[in-house]
Amino acid sequence: MLEFLKRKKRDKARRQRYAFANGLLPSAFFCEPAWFMEILRVDNRAFLLYLWEKAGKTVGKGKKVAPGSWSCEFVTLEDSVSVALIAFPEPRAMTDPFFVAAVCRPAGPGQEQEGIARWFALEYNPQLGEFGGKAFFCERTGDGTHLNVAALAETTRDAFVAAVREMLEPEPDLRALQLPDFWDRLPDDQRASIPGPTSWPGPRTE
């Protein structure tokens, strides 16, 4: 019975982390990108705690799960693009993020500058372990579509920011940041279970 209760608690924590990082956070961002960025600047801890508790309510009753030790910083890229970079505790389960990034630039006066609202994440995937990696670089769109874009060689902040920066280019190329020859070395029987990047054979949705 004790082991069952522990397993149930771990499952609730996993589902709450997923609902928080992969559901409520990007949904709040795409609902109103400029407002999302501003509230993170004003009091990111209070806002993240609010969404964390809301995520807990969506996964059912039970003992409250302690919030994570998140951190939030802002990075300014070229052409006045702002990035809210949120770092998460060490991942414990599939799809737990190392980082997420809200990328925003309001449209300029008279639409001279195109508006940008994009969401990226670096998500843990233990299936990459045998290839020397452990994370997929992903993009989530405003309609909820999830794209696994690349298997990154590193899980550092700088590698993630570099991938985000590259994805904003007209023709992004993440080959320099990927695991060396990852898709070429992947056995055929595993290709079906691990979604590929845009270069092989095209982004798969989840």
pLDDT in tens, 91-105: 988 899 999 999 999
Strands (E), 58-196: 71-77, 81-87, 97-105, 116-124, 135-140, 146-151
Q: Has residue 6 got a pLDDT over 70?
A: no
* Strands of the 146-151 sheet, one edge to the other: 71-77, 81-87, 97-105, 116-124, 135-140, 146-151
Confidence of residue 112 (pLDDT cuts 50, 70, 90): low
Query: What value does the mean pLDDT of the chain take?
Result: 82
pLDDT at 198 exceeding the cut of 50: no
Q: How far is CA 153 from the centre of its chain?
A: 16
Please say if the pLDDT value at position 195 is more than 60.
no
Model confidence pLDDT, tens digit, residues 34-76: 999 999 999 999 999 999 999 988 776 666 677 878 999 999 9
pLDDT of 202 reads 37
pLDDT band for 187, please (50, 70, 90 cuts).
low
Extents of the domains making up the chain: 2-191
Question: Residue 192's pLDDT is what?
Answer: 52
Q: What average pLDDT does range 28-34 have in this prediction?
A: 95
Q: Residue 190 has what pLDDT? A: 58
- Picking from 195, 121, 206, 117, the residue whose alpha carbon sits closest to that of residue 163 is 121
Whether the pLDDT of residue 12 is over 80: the answer is: no
Is the whole-model pTM more than 0.75? yes
Greatest CA separation for the chain: 64
172 band by pLDDT with thresholds 50, 70 and 90: confident
